[in-house]
Structure 1
C-alpha cells in the first residue's frame, strides 16, 4: 500500500495500492483531471504533439506500466494526409429513419442498384441526405481547413481538419450524416454537452464547438471540434495479417495480456463516466484508438444518463445486450460491461491462447460480463477491472514472468494451511498407536474434507453491510446466542450476519444449522451472490460431499475468475475425487443436486464421482478418470502457486499430485520453490526430507542417492527443539530399514551419521533401536514410554542362534 489516499468522496480511509486500486472501495485511482486552459490560452489551439518514431516499437515482453498493466507497443501517428480519404463514401445498407415515431428504413438499394445517398423516407416522406456537408478545402469556424474524411459513424461524418493558426496541428470535426434525423440531432447535443465536461486521459477531449452553413442550407450545422488521435482503432486487430501483428507486438505476437490491458484501460474510462452518472452504451473495437502507447475512447454520441428511460437507445448489434433485455429494462451499468465483454471476446479471437489456466479464467470472466441475466454480471467497472487485472497476473505468472503477489480484495488473509501433514515432524503416536508391524506409509493422500473446509480463506465482510462492524466483536464459539440476537434485532438481520453464523456453526460442528443460515443469506442476497456459493461449498465439504462442494466452488470461480481461493478449493476437490476413482467400486457422477445453479453461471461443470444414479466404470475407465482429475488438480494448484509461491496449501497439494504421478524428485522440486518469505518454508523443507527417504503408498523404495540427499537436507533443517530432530531421524531410519533391498544399498550406500558407517541390516537396526530409546525420554506417560521401549527392543538384531532357528522354521513351514 502506498501513502497516497483515495480521493473519492464516498471512500473513507482508503489508500491506493501498487496495483492502482483502492484497498477499501476497490476502485481504480481516478485519473488526474487536466487543468482547463487559462484565460489567456486559446482552447482551440492546443500544443502540437511531439515528434514520434515512424515505425512501431514493441514493448519488452512482460514489461508493466504504473498501473500494473502490460506496456503497449508504441504505435506512431500516421501521416494525417494518408489517414483521411478525399472521396466521401456514404454509408450503405440502409438505416432507420430518425423522425420520431417513424419506423421507415432509408438508404436502401433497389433491384441490386447502388444505395441512394439522399432521398425521402418511404414511410413519412421526410427528406434525408447522407452526403457530407463539408468538402476538402472548406473552412469551418474561420480557421479549420477540411483535409478529408476520416470515417462515417452511426450519426455523424468525421472530418480531418488543420488549424491554420497553428501549422501542423490537426483536429477532428464531427457533424451529422442526416441533418433531418431528430434522434441524431439530440445525440449530437448530448455528445457536445458530455464531452465539454469530461477530462480523462483515456477519453477523447473536446476543443470547442463551431457552426457552419454550407451553400444551399437554410440553417447552419453544428460541429464538435475534438483532438485528433493519430492511431488505429482496435478493429484493425481483427483483420490484420499475423506478420503485421508480430511486427507491432513483438516476437510473442498479440496475446491475451494485450487484450486484458486494453480491457482495463477501457473499463477505467467507463468507470469515470459511470461515476458521473453517464453510460457509454456503444463500446466496440471501432470506438477505441491505440495511439503511442495509450488508448483513447472516442465517439461519445451514444452517451446518456444512467437514469434516462425515455430517449432513444444508440447501440451496435452484436455488442449490445439482447433486444428483449433492452426493451424490458433499457440500459444500465451492467449493459456497458456487457459491451466491454463482447469487445474483449472479439479481440481475444486473434490473440495467442496462453498455456495453463489463464485462458479459462479469461473466458469465465467474459461469460460473467455477458451473462444473459443482468443480475449475474459484474456490478461495476471497478469490479470487472480488478478481476481482469487478477487474470493478467495469473497469465503473466504462468507464462514465466516474475509473480507479484497482492492481498486479495475478496478474501481475508489466513495463516491456516491444509494438507501439510508431510511437512509436520511425526509425533510420538506415530510409533505408539500403530497397528501391524513395519513403518507405515507417509501421509501422501488428500486431507480430510472437514479439515480443508476449516483452513480455506474466509470472505472479507461487505463494508456496506450494516452489521459488518458489529460482527467483528462477537465470539464465534457462541453461535446460538448470536442467532437469538439476530432473530430479535433487525440490525443483525443481514447477509453478513447469516454468513458469519454459517461459519460459526461449521466451526462448532453443526452443519445442519450452518446450512439453514446460508439459505437465509441466499434469500436476502439473491441467486447470484458468490458468497452464497462459497459458503454452501464449505457446508458440503464439512459433510464430506466433495462432489457437491465442487459445484459450489466452480460457481465461485465463475464469478471471481481472478481470485486464488476458488482455484485452491477446486484443486483440492479434484485431488480428493481422483483418489475416489482409485477405490474399488468407484462410481460415475450422478445428476447435480437440487441446489445446483445453471451451467451458464458456473462455467464448465466439474463433477466428481458419486451421487444418485451413479454407475461403476471399469478399471481402465476409472484409472483414466483418476488421471484426468489429477491433471485438473495440478492445473488449479499450479495456477495458485505460480501466482503466489508463498501459498502453502497449493504447494503441498501440487507436491502430493506430482509425488503420486511423477515420483519423489518432481514433488521435492515443488517444495523447494516455497520461498523463505513464506510462513510455510520450514514445513516445506521437512516435507522434502520425508518424501526423499520415506515409504510411499504403492511407490518404489527410495534410492541410495535419495537417502543421501535426505541426510544432507536433514542436517540443514532449523527445527524447534532437539526432540523434533530426534523423531525425524527415527522415522528416516525406520523407513530405510523397511525399504532396504535384500542385497543392501550397494556402492551408493550413504554412509554417515544418519544410517551408520556400514551397509548392514544389523547396524541399521541398532541405530533405529537407539533412536526409539531416546524417544522414550519424550514420553508423556508411563504407558507411552513402555510402548516406545518395547519397540526399541523389538527392532534389535536377534541373536545368531535365534536367527538360525527362525530360518530353519521358515524352511520347514
Structure 2
C-alpha cells in the first residue's frame, strides 16, 4: 500500500446512473447501541462501539492548529476535472504548474486556493486559512462573526471554471439543505463570493467545524509510528462502520445516494463519528448528473448501470476492508478482495471474511439490500470477533432466527433427524399478511395451514417446515419448488438468489434424509448470506461432524459456543468432537462451562463426569468422583453414575497398580474398589424394573465381591 490511502477522484462519467432497487430505512436497532459509560480515558460504551467495544477518544482539535502553513495540492493528486488525466506534474526537473491547461483536452485547471487569510465573506465569515483539499474543492477555516465567533468550514470549488464541478457543488448544496442527521456534518449556510484571484463568483458551503481526525489519518499515523501494521484493530474498524451505517441508511431513506464512502470521509471527534464531504451525493432517480467516486472503492457496475443503494453498500465493504487490513486495493485487488491465504486475519475471522465478500459481491443483487441489513449482520460478526479475542461470550438476539427449539446431542450421540427438529427456525416476517395468524396457529397439519386466511409466502414456508418435520421431505421440496420457480408470466414468489430461506429448508430436508454432505452445501450458502447469525454455523458443525470432518466441526461448534452460551447444543457438540479427537480435557472444560442458569447445566455436569472417565489417570478419577459427589441428583442416577466411576477406577487399578487418593470414599486399590462396586450394584438391584435386571445386577455384585477366607 502506498503512503497515501486516498485516491484521485474519478472524472465525470458519461454513462447515466440507475437505481433499480429499493432504498433502506435508517438503522435503528443493534447499530444504535446501548448507553453505558466507559473510563475517563476511553469513550463511552455507547453507539460508537455498538455497546460492545470501547474505542479510544480522539481529543477535540484546536481549529487554529489545523490550518495549513503552505496549502497546495500534491502533484500526485492533480488531475483534469474534465478528462481525468494527469495535469500539473513535474517534467524535465521542473515542478508542475498549479494552474494551466490540460495537455490532453485543453481544459483549464487551477489548484490554487481562492481565499486568503483575513478575507471576509458575506460580511460575516472571516477566513483564517486552508484546512485541506478534496476532490471538488478547498476547505477553509473561518470565524462566524454573526454567531458568537463560532468556528465554521467554508468549502469552495477546486476548479471553478469546470461546469460539471460547479454542477456537483450546486447539487451538494441542494442535498445538504435537506439532510439532518447527528452523524452527518451540519450545514449552516450557502454563499457566493467574488474571488480576488480570478474575479469570478465562487460558490461556498458553510458547514460546522468537526475538530477530530479522519479514519484515513488514523491509519496513516499508525503506519508512520511504526506499529507494524497499516490498519485499525478489527473490532475498532467494525465499530466505526456500525456508527456510520445509520447515516448512510438515513440518506437512502430520503432518496439519496452517497457514492463516495471511504475512510477519508469519516471524522472521529471525541465521542462521535461524522460523515463529511457530500460532494458526490445524488438522488436515487438521477440518471444524468456526473458520477463521482474513488477508484478502488467504487462498485464495478457504476460505468454501466450507475449508482444505487447496492453500490453504496459496495463502497462500505471496500472501506471496511481498507480499515481492517493492508491490501493493494488499487492494484491487483482493485476488483476483488484478497483471499484468506493472502490476509491471515480473514482466516482467523471467517464470518468477517464472508461479510466482506457479500458486501462487495460483483453482482449488485447479491449484496446486502440495505444499510440496516448490513449493520445487523456486522453486529453479529463483531460479537464473534470480540468473543474469539478474549473468550467472553457476547450473546445477542437474532431477528432472522428463533432460538434453538430444543437441545440435541445431549445424550452423547448425534441423530440427524433430531437435529432437523431442534435447530432454530427462520423468523416469520412481521410484514407478511399472515404473520399474526401464524403466531397463534397451533396446527401442524399441512392441510390445516392451507386454510389460512391468505396463502402467503410465510404460510407456505411453514407448510414446508411441517412437511420436513413429519419426514415427508419430497413433498416439502415440491412445495418449495413451486415457491422458487418462476411462472410463464410472473417472477417467483421467493427468489433464491435474494432470499436464503430456500437453502435453509433444503438443508433441513437433507439432514432429515441423512444426507449431511448435501446439507453442508446448503447451510454454507446460508452462512454466507447471513454471516452474523449463529444458526447456520451450528448446522454446519453438525454436518461436518456427520461427514467425519472433526476439525471443521470443532471450529464451528467453538465459534457458536464462545459467542453465545444460549446455544447449549454447540457445547455438547464441541465436547463430543473433542472426545472423538482424543482431547478429553477440552471436552470436560467445555461441558463445565455450561452456565448454572441453563436447563442443561446438570446434564452437562453429568456428561463432564463421564467424559473424564476415558483413558484417564488417577487424578482424573479422583476429580470425577469429587464432581459427582457435588451433584444434586436422585439416588438412582447418582448410584448408576457412581458405578460407572468406580468401574473406570477398577479398570485403571487392574491395568496399573494402586495409587494415592480416594474415589467416592474408596481407596484406589483393587480390594476397596471391589467393595464399592458391590454396594452400588446391590443398590441398583433394588431399583431394577424387572426381575431379570435385578438378578443380573445381583450376579454382578457377587462376581465383583472380594474373596474372603470365610
**TM-score range with shorter-chain normalisation?**
0.7 to 0.9
Tell me the residue number matched to 1:341: 317
1:419 aligns with 2:395: no
1:503 aligns with 2:444: no
Q: Against the structure 1 CA distance between its residues 502 and 378, is the aligned structure 2 distance closer, same or farther, given a 3 Å change threshold?
A: same
CA shift digits 1:582-602 (9 cap, x unpaired):
xxxxxxxxxxxxxxxxxxxxx
Residues 551-630 of structure 1: matches in 2 within 5 Å?
551-578=521-548, 629-630=549-550
In the alignment, is residue 454 of structure 1 matched against residue 386 of structure 2?
Answer: no
Which of 284, 306, 329 is 1:330 aligned to? 306
Q: Which residue does 1:394 correspond to in 2?
A: 384
Sort the Cα spacing of 1:158 and 1:575 in 2 relative to 1 into closer, same or farther, 3 A: same
What is the Cα deviation at residue 680 of structure 1?
Answer: 1.3
Match of 1:133 in 2: 114
Q: Which moved further from structure 2: 191-200 or 215-224?
A: 215-224
TM-score (structure 1 length as normaliser): 0.73
Give the equivalent residue in structure 2 for 1:706: 620
- In structure 2, the CA distance between the partners of 1:462 and 1:242, relative to structure 1 (3 Å rule), is same
Residue 196 of structure 1, aligned match among 174, 177, 182? 177
Look up the match of 2:290: 312
Cα distance, 1:120 vs structure 2:
5.0
Change (3 A) 1:795 1:199: same
Alignment partner of 1:205 is 2:153: no
**Alpha-carbon distance between aligned partners in 2 of 1:180 and 1:774, rounded to the nearest angstrom:** 101
1:561 counterpart SS class: coil
| Whole-angstrom distance in 2 between the partners of 1:124 and 1:267 | 39
Give how far 1:27 is off.
7.1
DSSP-derived class of the 1:421 partner: coil
* Alignment correspondent of 2:679: 767
- Contact 1:357/1:639 (<8 A) preserved: no
Aligned-partner SS, 2:191: strand
Deviation at 1:201, TM superposition (A): 2.1
Deviates more, 1:663-672 or 1:270-279: 663-672
- After TM superposition, give the deviation of residue 319 of structure 1 in Å: 0.6
8 Å CA contact 1:158, 1:175 repeated in 2: yes
What are the within-5 Å matches in structure 2 for residues 265-664 of structure 1? 265-322=243-300, 325-350=301-326, 359-400=349-390, 402-422=392-412, 447-482=414-449, 491-494=454-457, 496-523=458-485, 524-526=493-495, 527-578=497-548, 629-664=549-584
Output the aligned Cα RMSD.
Answer: 3.8
Structure with max Cα Rg: 1
Q: Any idea what SS the aligned residue of 2:152 has?
A: strand
Over 3 Å counting, the alpha-carbon distance change for 1:60 and 1:135 in structure 2 is closer
Task: For residues 428-450 of structure 1, give each alpha carbon's deviation from its aligned partner in whole angstroms, at most 9, with x where no partner exists.
Answer: xxxxxxxxxxxxxxxxxx50222
In structure 2, what is the Cα distance between the partners aligned to 1:184 and 1:381?
A: 28
Deviations 1:584-631 (A, max 9, x none): xxxxxxxxxxxxxxxxxxxxxxxxxxxxxxxxxxxxxxxxxxxxx433
Q: Which residue of 2 aligns with 1:750?
A: 663
For 2:416 and 2:607, how far apart are their aligned partners in 1? Answer: 21
Task: Tell whether the 8 Å contact from 1:762 to 1:797 is kept in structure 2 after alignment.
Answer: no
Q: Return the alpha-carbon distance in structure 1 between the equivalents of residues 528 and 51 of structure 2.
A: 23
Summarize the Cα distance change of 1:631–1:65 in structure 2 as closer, same or farther, 3 Å threshold: same
User: Over residues 713-746 of structure 1, what are the superposed CA-to-partner deviations in whole Å (9 max), with x where a residue is unaligned?
Assistant: 2233233x44433443444455555565256644
The verdict on how the C-alpha distance between 1:222 and 1:473 changes in structure 2, with shifts beyond 3 A counting, is: same
Does the C-alpha gap of structure 1 residues 216 and 58 become closer, same or farther in structure 2, counting only changes over 3 Å? closer
The higher relative CO (CA closer than 8 Å, separation ≥ 6) is in 2
Relative distance call for 1:748 and 1:216 in structure 2 (3 A) is closer
Q: Is the 8 A contact 2:214 2:265 kept in 1?
A: yes
Q: Which residue in 2 is equivalent to 1:613?
A: none
Q: 1:287 to 1:332 in 2, by over 3 A?
A: same
Whole-Å Cα distance in 2 between the matches of residues 715 and 516 of structure 1? Answer: 54
Q: Distance in 2 between matches of 1:731 and 1:402?
A: 34
Preserved CA contact (<8 Å) 2:297 2:319 = yes
- Alpha-carbon contact 1:145-1:162 (below 8 Å) kept: yes
Deviation at 1:381, TM superposition (A): 0.8
| Contact persistence 1:70–1:261 (CA under 8 A) | yes
The equivalences for 1:241-256 within 5 A come to 241-242=222-223, 244=225, 254-256=232-234
Report the alpha carbon displacement of residue 97 of structure 1 after superposing the two structures with TM.
Answer: 5.0
2:4 aligns with none
Which one of 696, 713, 728 corresponds to residue 641 of structure 2?
728
8 Å CA contact 2:260–2:293 kept in 1: the answer is: yes
Q: Distance in 1 between matches of 2:323 and 2:269?
A: 17
**Could you say which residue in structure 2 is the equivalent of 1:625?**
none
Q: 1:63 to 1:188 in 2, by over 3 A?
A: closer
1:786 equivalent in structure 2: 691
Residue of structure 1 in register with 2:19 after alignment:
none
User: Residue 672 of structure 1 corresponds to which residue in structure 2?
Assistant: 592
When normalised by structure 2's length, the TM-score is 0.83
Of 232, 238, 241, which residue of structure 2 is paired with 1:260? 238
Q: CA deviation at 1:687?
A: 1.0
Aligned counterparts of 2:44 and 2:150: Cα–Cα separation in 1: 34
1:616 match? none
Comparing 542-551 and 256-265, the one that deviates more? 542-551
Q: Do structure 1's residue 157 and structure 2's residue 138 form an aligned pair?
A: yes
* Cα 1:659–1:680 shift into 2, 3 Å: same
Q: Of residues 202, 205, 226 in structure 2, which corresponds to 1:224?
A: 205
Pick which of 499-508 and 471-480 moved more: 471-480
**Cα separation, 2, equivalents of 1:768 and 1:306:** 77
Aligned with residue 700 of structure 2, among 795, 800, 803? 795
- Displacement of 1:241 in angstroms is 4.0
- Distance, in Å, in 1 between the alignment partners of 2:629 and 2:706 is 38
Cα pair distance change 1:111/1:356, threshold 3 Å: closer
After superposing the two structures, state which structure 1 stretch, 290-299 or 709-718, moved more.
Answer: 709-718
- Structure 2 gaps of 5+ residues are 1-23, 328-342, 486-492
CA pair 162-751 structure 1, distance change in 2 beyond 3 A: closer
Which residue among 596, 605, 608 is the counterpart of 1:688? Answer: 608
Would the aligned equivalents of 1:30 and 1:272 in 2 still touch at CA under 8 Å?
A: no
Question: How far apart are residue 222 of structure 1 and its match?
Answer: 1.9
- Distance in 2 between residues matched to 1:786 and 1:749, nearest whole Å: 33
Segments of 5+ residues of structure 1 without an aligned counterpart are: 1-9, 32-56, 423-445, 579-628, 780-784, 805-813
Are the counterparts in 2 of residues 283 and 319 from structure 1 also a CA contact under 8 Å?
A: yes
Matched pairs, number: 658
Deviation at 1:384, TM superposition (A): 0.9
Aligned to 2:16: none
Q: Secondary structure at the match of 1:222?
A: strand
| 1:230 CA drift (Å) | 1.9
Deviations along 1:277-317, one digit per CA (max 9) or x if unpaired, are 21111111111112223221110111111222222212111
Asked if 1:146 is matched to 2:127, the reply is yes
Measured in 1, the distance between the counterparts of 2:129 and 2:122 equals 16
Q: Which residue of 2 aligns with 1:68?
A: 51
For the 8 Å contact 1:238–1:350, the answer to whether it is kept is no
Q: For residues 309-342 of structure 1, give each alpha carbon's deviation from its aligned partner in whole angstroms, at most 9, with x where no partner exists.
A: 22221211111101xx224432111211111111
Q: Is the 8 A contact 1:537 1:550 kept in 2?
A: yes
- Paired residue secondary structure (1:212): strand
